[in-house]
Amino acid sequence: MTPEEILPDALLERIRSRAAGYDRDNTFFHEDLQDLVEAGYLKLFVPADDGGQGLGLAAAAQCQRRLATAAPATALAVNMHLVWTGVAQVLSARGDASLDFVLKEAAAGEVFAFGNSEAGNDSVLFDSRTVAERRPGGGYAFTGTKIFTSLSPAWTRLGIFGKDPAARGGDGELVHGFITRATPGYRILDDWDTLGMRASQSGTTVLEGAEVPHHRVFRKLPVGPNADPLIFAIFACFETLLAAVYTGLGERALILGVEAAKRRTSFKNGGRSYAQDPDIRWKVAEAAMAMDNLYPQLASVAADVDNLAGHGPQWFPKLVGLKVNATETARRVVDLAIRVSGGSSYFRGSELERLYRDVLAGMFHPSDDESAHNTVANAWLGPLDD
Ligand SMILES: Cc1cc2nc3c(=O)[nH]c(=O)nc-3n(C[C@H](O)[C@H](O)[C@H](O)COP(=O)(O)OP(=O)(O)OC[C@H]3O[C@@H](n4cnc5c(N)ncnc54)[C@H](O)[C@@H]3O)c2cc1C
């Protein structure tokens, strides 16, 4: 199925019509989620034989781009479920079945969230401030604080990781696993009151000894950067699907800018449309050219993941480069669209005003600007001397 068949116009319009209300009331997108579940959207990566859409990353990214044109916060939060199911699919395509159970559970209707970010952990996936304490039988009890957990009102499975400090001769080991909503020993704080992406309801999750049983621990990795396929799969899916969300946001901003330019008229120029104004035309063209640079990059990086392309040490630069280009381009395009649209976009409740706030979140997702540039510089210049 194409993205247009999976997300038909009528469904997209329904989702778009709710976005302003969720944002204004700072509420979770329950109705959108229900619609998306019914449309089979949470099974994009689930194989067709198991009742899913059987898509790869390139097709799923186009779906996310399309969804984000209607509701960026809904798309961003659903992204977290798609990241886990995408990771399972990317690993499976490379002969690693360790997360096949994620696809089976998604087929059965489970909703996955991504509980990895931690306050003050700029090592992101390569170290953790959460303690994973080994239990008899091989499970682990997790204690720590995960921030920005999107989908917090709705997830039924939360992927987390923490450090077992005693493992590997005291060097520590990073332990990855899933808890379920029914697992005791965690709290979700009602602390999501942000500038934008409000419907994602990405509240803080406090882990207070939440236990992951042995059979749901799916990776144990050394502290520090490493080449485990899980790390590649998380980066590949996270950066690509995130880029798709911000691409869709930018695409919508451009459409709104074009509509505004055609709608607004100039008193000075005898009531002619601003679409006839050379300065406004230049800004619209600038925004369109920026978007036209982004679409092929998104498509080709995602297709390369699907096609098992061998980019070697250039893989991470390609992935972080896509993320940074998408989030920064979307910011620039929203800015241009606002300049084209004039003062109406400054009013609360205007769609561009919401997109202006939503698009800022792109700066904070990994890889942030500093980390992305460091990754790319390392790939081209080698690491810094000690
Ligand atoms: C809309 C949105 C949705 C997101 N959804 C998810 C998600 O679903 N799953 C996920 O894993 N991540 C998610 N992220 C998290 C994101 O990827 C980043 O981890 C997050 O933005 C934090 O960025 P930062 O490191 O710049 O934050 P920072 O500002 O460095 O830290 C964030 C918080 O931690 C506190 N803090 C900073 N340093 C310390 C310290 N040393 N000790 C104690 N507290 C400290 C800060 O005061 C602040 O409150 C989301 C982000 C956004 C913006």
Domain with CATH 2.40.110.10 in the chain: 113-222
d(CA 224, CA 276): 56
Using CA atoms, how far apart are residues 330 and 108, in angstroms rounded to an integer? 35
Predicted confidence (pLDDT) at residue 284 exceeds the cutoff of 90: yes
pLDDT at 178 over 90: yes
Q: Kindly state if the Cβ of 197 falls inside 6 Å of ligand 1.
A: yes
Closest CA to 339 of 216, 273, 254, 242: 254
CATH number of 229-381: 1.20.140.10
Residue of 202, 206, 354, 367 best suited for mutating to test ligand 1, as the one with most atoms within 8 Å of CB: 202
Specify the length of the chain in residues: 386
How many Å apart are CA 281 and CA 301, to the nearest integer? 31
Tell me, using a 6 A CB cutoff, whether residue 203 lines ligand 1.
no
Cα–Cα nearest to 155, from 195, 192, 118, 205: 205
Locate the ligand 1 atom nearest the alpha carbon of residue 124 and give its number: 19
Closest CA to 132 of 212, 246, 250, 218: 212
- Residue 220's pLDDT is what? 98
Average pLDDT over residues 77-99: 98
Asked if residue 202 lies in contact with residue 150, where contact means CB atoms within 8 angstroms, the answer is yes
**Which residue among 121, 160, 357, 364 is best mutated to probe the pocket of ligand 1, counting the most ligand atoms within 8 A of its Cβ?**
364
Angle among Cα 46, 31, 45 to the nearest 5 degrees reads 10
Mean pLDDT throughout 285-290?
Answer: 98
* pLDDT at residue 269 tops 90: no
Give per-residue pLDDT as tens, 7-29: 999 999 999 999 999 999 999 99
Helix, strand and coil content of the chain, in percent to the nearest 5, comes to 55, 15, 30
- Under DSSP, the state recorded for 201 is -
Query: Model confidence at 186, in pLDDT bands (50, 70, 90)?
Result: very high
Going from the Cα of 132 to the center of ligand 1, the distance in angstroms, rounded, reads 20
Residue 386 has pLDDT above 90, yes or no: no
Specify the CATH class of 3-111 in words: mainly alpha
Instruction: Write out the two tokens for 278.
Output: 């050379």
| The token pair that represents 352 in the structure block | 């561009």
Q: What is the pLDDT of residue 367?
A: 87
Average pLDDT along the chain: 97
What is the pLDDT averaged over residues 264-289? 94
Q: Looking at domain 113-222, what is its CATH homologous superfamily?
A: Butyryl-CoA Dehydrogenase, subunit A, domain 2 (2.40.110.10)
- CB-based contacts of 222: which residues, under 8 Å, 6+ apart? 168, 171, 173, 174
- Check whether 294 has a pLDDT greater than 90: yes
119 Cβ closer than 6 Å to some ligand 1 atom: yes
- Position 33 scores a pLDDT of 98
Residue 265 sits at φ, ψ, to 5 deg, of -120, 155
The boundaries of every CATH 1.20.140.10 domain in the chain are 229-381
Q: Distance between CA atoms of 88 and 176, rounded to whole angstroms? A: 14
The token pair that represents 142 in the structure block: 């997790």
Q: Is the pLDDT of residue 72 over 90?
A: yes
Q: Does the CB atom of residue 120 touch ligand 1 within 6 A?
A: yes
pLDDT tens for 133-174 read 999 999 999 999 999 999 999 999 999 999 999 999 999 999
Could you tell me what percent of the chain has a pLDDT over 90?
Answer: 94
Give the tens place of pLDDT for each residue, 339-371: 999 999 999 999 999 999 999 999 999 888 888
CB-ligand 1 contact for 116 (6 Å cutoff) = yes
CATH 1.10.540.10 domain locations along the chain: 3-111
